[in-house]
């Protein structure tokens, strides 16, 4: 089984560029702030979904039943990643919070909630890059 984290890292790069653009346009009355905030949130959502798919793939290396992994809901995928050392305990909690936030972004389109999401993104960016390295190491070791 092979793993390619390039797409995950590309979504992280896109998120980083959106966050940097927000720093250059900090006025919340500026339409460019809204544009870059929306790009950052969309990059967050896309990278979170990509991370989930890659975590599922990684967890299959730890179990004799890939179908069992396929049946896990996203939060259980995160918990199993912690159980197998792909994420540490604090990381599992942060990823659960990211997922909860993402679920809320799908239903709450208000600027207040979007700005709340922005506060999570710098730590998320560090976590997604670390996860990409960890996932690649898991697959390199099992190859």
Convert the pLDDT of each residue in 88-133 to its tens digit: 999 999 999 999 998 876 655 677 778 888 999 999 999 999 999 9
- Of 49, 61, 45, 43, the closest CA to residue 134 belongs to 61
Q: Cα angle vertex 41, ends 73, 15, to 5°?
A: 105
pLDDT at res. 142: 67
CATH architecture of 6-142: Up-down Bundle (1.20)
What pTM did the predictor assign? Answer: 0.90
- CA–CA gap between residue 52 and residue 69 (Å, rounded): 11
> In this structure, are residues 33 and 58 in contact, taking their beta carbons and an 8 Å threshold?
no
- Lookup: tokens for 122: 């710098």
Convert the pLDDT of each residue in 19-49 to its tens digit: 999 999 989 899 999 999 999 999 999 999 9
């Amino acid at each position: 089984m092979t793993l390619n984290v390039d797409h995950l890292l590309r979504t992280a790069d896109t998120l980083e560029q959106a966050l940097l653009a927000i720093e250059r346009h900090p006025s919340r009355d500026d339409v460019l702030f809204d544009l870059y905030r929306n790009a950052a949130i969309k990059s967050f959502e896309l990278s979170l979904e990509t991370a989930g798919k890659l975590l599922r793939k990684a967890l299959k290396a730890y179990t004799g039943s890939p179908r069992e992994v396929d049946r896990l809901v996203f939060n259980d995928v995160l918990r199993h990643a912690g159980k197998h050392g792909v994420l540490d305990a604090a990381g599992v909690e942060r990823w659960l919070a990211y997922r909860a936030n993402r679920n809320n972004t799908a239903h709450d389109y208000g600027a207040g909630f979007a700005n709340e999401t922005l506060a999570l993104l710098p730590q998320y960016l560090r976590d997604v890059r670390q996860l990409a390295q960890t996932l690649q190491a898991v697959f390199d070791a099992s190859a």
